[in-house]
Structure 1
Amino acid sequence: MLKIPQMAKSINKKVYIKKISYSAPFTWLKQGVEDFTKCPALALFYGTLFTSFTYFYWDFLSHSPTLSDIAAPLLAMVVIIFGPISAMAMYDASKRLSNGEELSFRSILTVIKSAFKANGSYPSLFLSIILIVIAIMWMVFTPLIYAILNTDTFVNQNQTIIEAILNDIINFNNPLFLIIYGIFTAVTAWISFMISWFSFPMVLDQNIDPFTAANTSIRTALANKIVMLIWVPIVGIIVLASLLTPYFLGMVVTVPVLAHATWHAYKSLINKLE
């Protein structure tokens, strides 16, 4: 049963956000590395679990006769949905380290339990549901957009709509579809990122409802557009480089570091509920 917290106190209150320098993302990364070195056992435990799940899921998709064509977008979708909630333990670890606590391997269960009990399990799960709904909308609208904008590729060939879409993307057919679908996909990913960027750390740190957390995360991203435009490519490059390592082993280190860095980004941009 979900533990629904009492969050009435957050109604009619505001969360004040800050504007920071463009060099902040590099400071966050430095702080993420520092937190990693302070609790390496916990970070590596989380990194190994996340990497193992990601690799085996990719292996399953890439060898599936029906899903191999869309393995990459499905993997990206799952990481976007479950990455933030799975990082809750790393957020809690950074919070404890900021408070002067020392963490060891024995602290793993304590940190994990604390992360998901903070403010109840309801807000973080609800935020995950929001991301799942966005992902489903992306999957539903993809063939719809193609059906409206296709130039007889699907009609004239004996192929599934997924094969037709991939064929158009790979061969740069149907430019109008590629442009509109590219914009649609980018906007969907952008919205997902803005919602999840700070909402998960926020529901861990404060007694706040998921709607206020998501709204605050979006407001923060929009108020710091340049910083976000710097941070997103940094994260993308780090994650892509990690995925290019054998068995995705680079993610064992980079994912915990990015999770720790996200916590410090949240603390540097968002004040307490007032």
Structure 2
Amino acid sequence: MSQSFKNAPQNAITDSQIARVIPCRELSMSDPINWLKLGVQDAMRAPILTLFFGIVFAAIPWLITYLVKLTGWHLVIMPAIVCFMLIGPFLAAGLYDISWELEKGHKPSLWHSIKAVKRNAVNEWGLGILLMVLMIFWLRVASLIHALYPPYLDENYQNLLPFLALGGVIGAGFTLLVFFLSAFTQPILMERKVDLATAVLTSMNTVWSNKLPMLFWASIILIAVLIGFATQFLGFILLMPIIGYATWHGYIDSIEVKRKRLYA
């Protein structure tokens, strides 16, 4: 796999002087497929851990849906889905650790993966807080949309459709924003002793400099999420770990490193 990197192109991100922006490689449209292949290899090499994290990822939306049914507030389904996508990158830290351990020739363990978030704890928790703020902001917007729903209308599909459509469009915007901010932020913070601003701006620069390949990668993630929900969350058991592993390989393939990296 080619590891030819370029200096970060001049744009509003690299010229901001807010923090150091680590140079990125110019990606091709085939690169996300290669990341998926490497993710599948990692899943096959660590099947027990893959199953564990997959069950966790499947349990979260199941619990959200159960609470929705319990409360009867059907309009919370869309914001709950987006919330799941907002916190997904933060929860994937354990999966990134597994791929990193496999790359180094080590045997990954659950405890080692759980401790992954502590390597750059202040900045990684800062990322978690950033995602949480975005999640809370989205929930407030969703509450406003819900407040627009006339109380005299029956909660059937025809009446709910305009509000679900509005929530879907706004939710898609929030999701793209989160992807722009955090596509590779978590892996950067895990591997490098850098501040949160450097990690976020580096991730943003990578996405901005490779709009089409990264949009393709975002669409792959979206399809995986849709398949997960279409299969009553069972698809998450396999798909979410593969996406997590693939994201780690995408980070290594996209952003300049100090030494040559090995691939499984």
TM-score range, shorter chain: 0.7 to 0.9
Residue 176 (structure 2) pairs with residue 190 (structure 1): yes
Amino acid paired to 1:261: A
Instruction: Give, in whole Å, the separation in 2 of the partners of 1:142 and 1:169.
Output: 14
For residue 265 of structure 1, what is the aligned residue in structure 2?
250
Instruction: Tell me by how many angstroms 1:159 deviates.
Output: 6.3
Instruction: Tell me by how many angstroms 1:269 deviates.
Output: 0.7
- Structure 1 window deviating more from structure 2 (56-65 vs 210-219): it is 56-65
Q: 1:54 to 1:144 in 2, by over 3 A?
A: closer
For residue 69 of structure 1, what is the aligned residue in structure 2?
75
For residue 89 of structure 2, what is the aligned residue in structure 1?
84
Q: 1:168 to 1:134 in 2, by over 3 A?
A: farther
Instruction: Give, in whole Å, the separation in 2 of the partners of 1:44 and 1:182.
Output: 30
For residue 58 of structure 2, what is the aligned residue in structure 1?
51
Instruction: Give, in whole Å, the separation in 2 of the partners of 1:25 and 1:37.
Output: 19
Contact 2:79 2:142 (8 Å CA) reproduced = no
Instruction: Give, in whole Å, the separation in 1 of the partners of 2:246 and 2:59.
Output: 21
For residue 132 of structure 2, what is the aligned residue in structure 1?
132
For residue 7 of structure 2, what is the aligned residue in structure 1?
none
Amino acid paired to 2:74: S
| Deviations 1:233-264, CA, capped at 9 Å, x for gaps | 21111221122224x12211111000000001
Q: 1:225 to 1:169 in 2, by over 3 A?
A: farther
Instruction: Give, in whole Å, the separation in 2 of the partners of 1:139 and 1:47.
Output: 26
Amino acid paired to 1:214: V
Q: 1:145 to 1:47 in 2, by over 3 A?
A: closer
Question: Structure 1 length normalisation: TM-score?
Answer: 0.77
RMSD (Å), alpha carbons:
2.8
Q: 1:158 to 1:43 in 2, by over 3 A?
A: same
For residue 199 of structure 2, what is the aligned residue in structure 1?
213
| Deviations 1:201-227, CA, capped at 9 Å, x for gaps | 110010011121111111111111101
Instruction: Tell me by how many angstroms 1:190 deviates.
Output: 0.9
Whichever structure has more helix as a proportion of its residues is 1
Question: Structure 1: 5+ residue runs without aligned partners?
Answer: 1-10
For residue 237 of structure 2, what is the aligned residue in structure 1?
252
Give the 5 Å matches for 1:148-167.
Answer: 154=150, 158=152
**Bigger Rg, structure 1 or 2:** 1
Contact 1:88 1:116 (8 Å CA) reproduced = yes
The one of 8, 19, 30 aligned to 2:26:
19
Amino acid paired to 2:88: G
Q: 1:50 to 1:158 in 2, by over 3 A?
A: same
The one of 106, 109, 124 aligned to 1:101:
106
Residue 46 (structure 2) pairs with residue 28 (structure 1): no
Q: What percent of counterpart residues are identical?
A: 31
Amino acid paired to 1:110: H
Instruction: Give, in whole Å, the separation in 1 of the partners of 2:26 and 2:159.
Output: 42
Instruction: Tell me by how many angstroms 1:139 deviates.
Output: 3.1
| Deviations 1:19-61, CA, capped at 9 Å, x for gaps | 1111111101100000001111111111112212321222122
Aligned residue for 1:36, secondary structure, equals: helix
Instruction: Tell me by how many angstroms 1:199 deviates.
Output: 0.5
Q: 1:259 to 1:158 in 2, by over 3 A?
A: same
The one of 205, 211, 217 aligned to 1:231:
217
For residue 6 of structure 1, what is the aligned residue in structure 2?
none
Instruction: Give, in whole Å, the separation in 2 of the partners of 1:55 and 1:12.
Output: 39
Contact 1:206 1:272 (8 Å CA) reproduced = no
Instruction: Give, in whole Å, the separation in 2 of the partners of 1:252 and 1:242.
Output: 8
Contact 2:180 2:203 (8 Å CA) reproduced = yes
Instruction: Tell me by how many angstroms 1:169 deviates.
Output: 5.7
Instruction: Give, in whole Å, the separation in 1 of the partners of 2:204 and 2:20.
Output: 17
Aligned residue for 2:124, secondary structure, equals: helix
| Deviations 1:105-127, CA, capped at 9 Å, x for gaps | xx2112322x12212x2222211
Instruction: Tell me by how many angstroms 1:92 deviates.
Output: 0.8
